[in-house]
Structure 1
Amino acid sequence: MTTTILFAAPQDSWDAYRAPLTEALDATGIDYRLSRDIPAEEVEYIVYAPSSGLTDFTGFPKLKAVLSLWAGVEKIVGNDRLTVPLTRMVDDEGLTQGMVEYVTGHALRHHLGMDAHIVNPDHRWEGKAPPLARERPVTVLGLGMLGRACARQLAQIGFPVTGWSRTPREIEGIRCLSGTEGLAEALSGAQIVVLLLPSTPQTENTLGAEQFALLAPGAAIINPGRGPLIDDEALLAALDSGQVGQATLDVFRVEPLPQDHPFWAHPRVTVTPHIAAETRADSASRVIAENVRRGVTGAPLLHLVDRGAGY
């Protein structure tokens, strides 16, 4: 039988995915039909992006699974009109590598104090060599696939890395902590903090005034995870006091970041427009195709979303 796959994403995504997804599905050997235009009563799988505008899944009587192209599922996980299995994109090698490069680059930027030399209009000949990486404690909040990959890369460079997650984890070469007390311990004395937690009610404002006070004075914050992980007002206060020396922010509560938001003008904030990592069509297509193959053959789907946990 032919498996019907609806591609529910904007036209530009279809343009990017059509060829690599077709190639990946062909490689599975299954008989399939892939299109942006399939009658709802025939659809069995939906390749999905929240930006597609699709929110009501009750009109798809044969639907077996929704396969999200995004790592974040906060815009769909609470949808009571979606009752079939939902998967998310967490094993895309391109997305992972992009995140590792972003985090490593900005961690080294802050570690080496590069900003003072890149922007030096007065031609100042001053400064001192930075400490070695082994003298700069780094904390990674969130030890999912992206967090683990970033923590390992930073540790390989020589940073002493502490990882924190809501539930216990074990990663060779990484000091791993969990729970409320573990968060305080993980943040105490940290000089660079990387946020890679999912956005859930439990993770909102993971970093607030109390947490910023635990950091080493002048610490750097790197947030390529989710905007709500940080209390914006508390961060601005910590920046103004010098408790936080720099913040590189790629994600925000409202995107695009409003033009009048204080982050734009703050001298210690770097705003990047949600570019830390993105799903790459070629590698993501292989993940999607494998899940379709699994669904067709009765094997367990990969990267299932835990509706209770929110990710």
Structure 2
Amino acid sequence: MTLLYKADPERGKQWTRLFADKAPALSFRVWPDIGDPAAVRYLAAWQPPEDPARTLPNLEVIFSVGAGIDQFDLSGVPDHIAVVRMVEPGIVEGMVEYVTQAVLTIHRDLFDYAAQQQQRVWRELPVRAAASRRVGVLGLGMLGSAVLERLRLFGFACAGWSRSAHSLAGIDCYAGAESLDAFLARTDILVCLLPLTAATHGLIDAAFLAKLPGGASLINVGRGPQLDQQALLDALERGHLANAILDVTDPEPLPPAHPFWTHPRVRLTPHIASATRPETAVDVVLENIRRHRSGLPMLGQIDRARGY
């Protein structure tokens, strides 16, 4: 029985060492050195090979090495092959850190202070209490729930929206399309943590942004194609939105002439909000292999109908 790794080769070296230490009885190979294709039961990949069932005829499970699976072409993965997204502590911790600093950057007026610094202006701005700032998170999965739990500790008025109903202590939870407008109307800092699906592609468009209060800000750590970039630029130009912090764009990277690069109210980072940590990711994969061999549900197994 073989686990095949197909992602960043440098990380593959770390995975190789970790699997040798933690599961020496398991055959571990790094693409393109697949050995006997018929022996491969498990694939850990950023993107599977084309027609994985033909390339690896006895493949049973594909593990995403990232938190999402939108980079997979599921139409090429037969239904008998389970698909599992990465659910590991390092991804959660990284996302909580990133979103917390992004919210605090906006809350403590660091965009304005950066502009003042460029102009050599030394002027205090009024400090708002965190309780007066309403933060809203789109997506109440593993990442969204963890982010809200941390932000709540700062005293922010926190709410979350998801397609299905959730209940989180100290968080106002909204569910379903019928509650989305009310959720947006009460949100000063909007954080997008939704998976990329057909339903969320292009979701954050001009009409969507118009439902936020004047002066609101956007943090997008979901996926680039969820955002209409021109709609965001227009909203910033009109002053309806104050700031945007974007860790994801479409495409990645942006063309050199794209206005986001130089916009004074946009901060860009190169899709680094959170990353899989090999040390903990290997433990999760091994646990899921144990579960799979025992006929138990795997952590992070996706629902094909939902796409996540």
Q: TM-score range by the shorter chain?
A: over 0.9
Distance verdict in 2 for CA 1:11–1:129, change over 3 Å: same
Secondary structure at the aligned position of 2:225 is classed as helix
8 Å contact 2:50–2:76 — kept in the other structure? Answer: no
1:181 and 2:178 correspond = yes
8 Å contact 1:77–1:307 — kept in the other structure? Answer: no
Deviation at 1:282, TM superposition (A): 0.6
Secondary structure at the aligned position of 1:139 is classed as strand
Deviation at 1:189, TM superposition (A): 3.5
For residues 49 and 22 of structure 1, the distance between their equivalents in structure 2, rounded to whole angstroms, comes to 21
Deviation at 1:292, TM superposition (A): 1.3
Amino acid at match of 2:66: W
1:114 and 2:110 correspond = yes
Q: Deviations for 1:81-123, whole angstroms, at most 9, x for unmatched residues?
A: 443001011x211111000000000100100002333451333
Among residues 28, 32, 48, which one is paired with 2:26 in the alignment?
A: 32
Deviation at 1:77, TM superposition (A): 4.9
1:46 and 2:40 correspond = no
Q: Deviations for 1:180-234, whole angstroms, at most 9, x for unmatched residues?
A: 2211111104210000000001012222222222222221110111112211111
Among residues 45, 53, 58, which one is paired with 1:58 in the alignment?
A: 53
Amino acid at match of 2:12: W
Secondary structure at the aligned position of 1:5 is classed as strand
8 Å contact 1:163–1:174 — kept in the other structure? Answer: yes
- Which shows bigger deviation, 269-278 or 116-125? 116-125
Secondary structure at the aligned position of 1:79 is classed as helix
Amino acid at match of 1:56: D
Quote the residue 1:19 is aligned against. Answer: 17
Q: Deviations for 1:120-166, whole angstroms, at most 9, x for unmatched residues?
A: 13332323232110000011001110000001111111101110011
Quote the residue 2:226 is aligned against. Answer: 229
For residues 9 and 275 of structure 1, the distance between their equivalents in structure 2, rounded to whole angstroms, comes to 16
TM-score, normalising length: structure 1: 0.92
- Within a 5 Å distance, the mapping from 1:62-211 to structure 2 comes to 62-83=58-79, 84-89=81-86, 91-119=87-115, 120-211=117-208
Among residues 274, 287, 303, which one is paired with 2:300 in the alignment?
A: 303
8 Å contact 1:189–1:214 — kept in the other structure? Answer: no
Amino acid at match of 1:190: T
Amino acid at match of 1:54: P
Distance verdict in 2 for CA 1:153–1:77, change over 3 Å: farther
Deviation at 1:268, TM superposition (A): 1.0
Secondary structure at the aligned position of 1:58 is classed as helix
In the alignment, structure 1 segments of 5+ residues that lack a partner are: none
Distance verdict in 2 for CA 1:21–1:218, change over 3 Å: farther
Among residues 3, 23, 29, which one is paired with 1:5 in the alignment?
A: 3
Amino acid at match of 1:296: R
TM-score, normalising length: structure 2: 0.93
8 Å contact 2:52–2:76 — kept in the other structure? Answer: no
Quote the residue 2:283 is aligned against. Answer: 286
Higher relative contact order (CA 8 A, sep 6+): 1
Secondary structure at the aligned position of 1:44 is classed as strand
Deviation at 1:23, TM superposition (A): 3.1
- Which shows bigger deviation, 261-270 or 161-170? 261-270
Secondary structure at the aligned position of 2:281 is classed as helix
Identity among equivalent pairs (%): 37
For residues 269 and 8 of structure 2, the distance between their equivalents in structure 1, rounded to whole angstroms, comes to 23
8 Å contact 1:21–1:282 — kept in the other structure? Answer: no
Quote the residue 2:210 is aligned against. Answer: 213
8 Å contact 2:139–2:194 — kept in the other structure? Answer: yes
8 Å contact 2:53–2:59 — kept in the other structure? Answer: no
8 Å contact 2:61–2:83 — kept in the other structure? Answer: yes
Aligned residues: CA RMSD: 1.6
